[in-house]
Amino acid sequence: MYSSSANVSERQAAPPSLAISTVIFALRPSETSGRPTLWLPLVRRIREPFKGLWALPGGPLTHSESLQDAASRNLRETTGLAPSYLEQLYAFGGLHRSPTQRVVSIVYWALVQPTEAALADVSENVRWFRADRLGDLAFDHNAIVDYALWRLRNKLAYGSVAYHLLGEYFTLAQVREVYEAVLDRELDPANFRRQLRSTPEIEETDHFLQGGKHRPPRLYRFTGRPGLDPDNRSTL
């Protein structure tokens, strides 16, 4: 995907190549505490440059698909996942991102629900990592993940994006755990509850989560629509 058989002079003349990558977030229980934590899938590079290192899923842009379609396809092909949320993150085009070739990467970020994430393909060259323990990645992918995390935290604090990391029905405590995992700080249950109950996009249901160890919490559902990206504006 990033490789080329052209020689140096031909590369100088050729336009920068265009690639699509995606940062995919999902919640998984921590091995230690069991509390939900942010994870993301990476693929191992099987060619130079950075052969053997882990990298974001990505690939070239096919001629017949839009940017968002390319990101969605890429996500499906590498991990078998269908995202519940997909948004463009940034176009990275620094001159020395790849040592062998000038590459401009248009990066998307996605959220997948835990039921989906459980079905994700895992193989020798595809593995999930905790978002806060990635190690050194190929290219500038560490900086890209950092920026994606920054965006996720922003969207979480401001917008209504947490529900795309959960199933259709959820308890308020589950939403709170998402916030606590992403923002990395504890939130007061009563105050958090008050805020969510004042947002019209959160709908109370008549069902309760059974089987817990304590008082059964009420189940809620999210009735809002995603934001207003240029890609998604046609549907409004």
Partner DNA sequence: TTAGTTTTGGTCACGATGACCATAACTAAA
Partner DNA sequence: TTTAGTTATGGTCATCGTGACCAAAACTAA
Residue of 213, 233, 234, 236 interacting with DNA (CB under 7 A): 213
Chain positions 173 to 232 lying near its own copies, rule: CB under 8 A, are 228-230
Query: Residues 171-190: x/- map of binding to DNA (CB under 7 A)?
Result: xxx--------------xxx
Q: How far, CA to CA in Å, does 162 sit from each of 38, 168, 199?
A: 12, 12, 13
Quickly count: other Cβ atoms within 10 Å of residue 125's Cβ: 12
> Among residues 14 and 183, whose Cβ is nearest to its own copies?
14
The tokens describing 4, both together, are 């080329």
Query: Considering only residues 100-129, where is the footprint of its own copies by CB under 8 A?
Result: 102, 104, 106
Q: Spell out the residues 6+ positions from residue 129 whose beta carbon is closer than 8 angstroms to its own.
A: 39, 40, 41, 42, 54, 135
Helix axes 141-158, 172-183, angle to 10 degrees: 140
- Helices marked H in 31-140 — which ranges? 67-79, 114-118
Nearest residue to 223 via CA among 210, 205, 208 = 205
Task: Report the residue from 90, 128, 129, 192 that binds its own copies according to the rule CB under 8 A.
Answer: 90
Cα–Cα distance between 43 and 123 in angstroms, integer?
9
Choices 11-19, 73-81, 145-153, 208-216 (CB under 7 A): range interacting with DNA: 208-216
Q: How far is the CB of 23 from DNA (least distance, A)?
A: 27
Nearer to DNA, 15 or 200 (CB): 200
Residue with tokens 């835990």: 114
Q: Of these partners, its own copies, DNA, none, which one is at the site of residue 212 (CB under 5 to 8 Å by kind)?
A: DNA
The closest alpha carbon to 171, from 117, 207, 121, 136, belongs to 207
- The interface partner of residue 205, options being DNA, its own copies, none and the CB cut-off 5 to 8 Å by kind, is none
Tell me the closest approach of the beta carbon of residue 208 to DNA, in angstroms. 7
Cβ closest to its own copies, residue 118 vs residue 228:
228
- The residues binding DNA (CB under 7 A) are 171-173, 188-191, 193-195, 197-198, 208, 212-218
